[in-house]
Structure formats: C-alpha cells, structure tokens
Amino acid sequence: MKFKLHALSAGLAVGVLWGLALFIWTIVTAKYGFAGSFLELITEVYPFFDITVSGAFWGLLWGFLDGFIGTYLLVWLYNFFVDKFGKK
C-alpha cells in the first residue's frame, strides 16, 4: 500500500503555523525581551526582519513562505520516493 501526502495542504499548514509562530514570538520578544537570541539568528536569514512590531509582519510573510515552500518540496520529494521505491 502506498501512502502519499498532499503537498499543498501540508505546505499551507506548516506555512501558516510557522508564520504565526514567528509573528507572535517577535511581538512577545519586542515587548518583553523573551528569547531574543534565536530571533537574532533569524534576522540574519530573513530580509527586512527585525525584532520590532513592524518586523513581526515581515516574519509572518517570510515564515509563511519558508514553511510553505520547504514543506511542499519535502512532501513532493517524499511522494516521489514512495512512487519510485514504495511497495506495489
């Protein structure tokens, strides 16, 4: 039995989850200074992202795109290998 995943649904789910998590985390860090060291690393990866309220919106956008594209490609690759090597 071949078990395949739906790449678009998985990409959207992870994109929304990572985007919202990054948005909320940035707002909390900007206001209270909580767990900023990890977000400092993220500022090196996502353009225009910084630990401010306006930066949180960039984090929402980049987090969604990063989560969506990465998960979509992962699921597509998984489905490719299921087709190629999965039991018939």
Summarised one tens digit per residue, pLDDT across range 10-60 is 999 999 999 999 999 999 999 998 888 999 999 999 999 999 999 999 999
Domain boundaries, the chain: 22-85
Contacts of 56 (CB under 8 A, 6+ apart): 22, 23, 26, 27, 30
Q: Kindly report the pTM of this predicted structure.
A: 0.90
pLDDT value at position 73?
A: 98
Has residue 1 got a pLDDT over 80?
Answer: no
Q: What is the 3-state secondary structure (H, E, C) of the chain?
A: CCCCCCHHHHHHHHHHHHHHHHHHHHHHHHHHCCCHHHHHHHHCCCCCCCCCHHHHHHHHHHHHHHHHHHHHHHHHHHHHHHHHHCCC
Task: Check residue 13 and give its pLDDT.
Answer: 98
Burial class (CB in 10 A: 0-12, 13-18, 19+), 81: exposed
Give the model's pLDDT for residue 32: 93
Question: Averaged over 57-84, what is the pLDDT?
Answer: 97
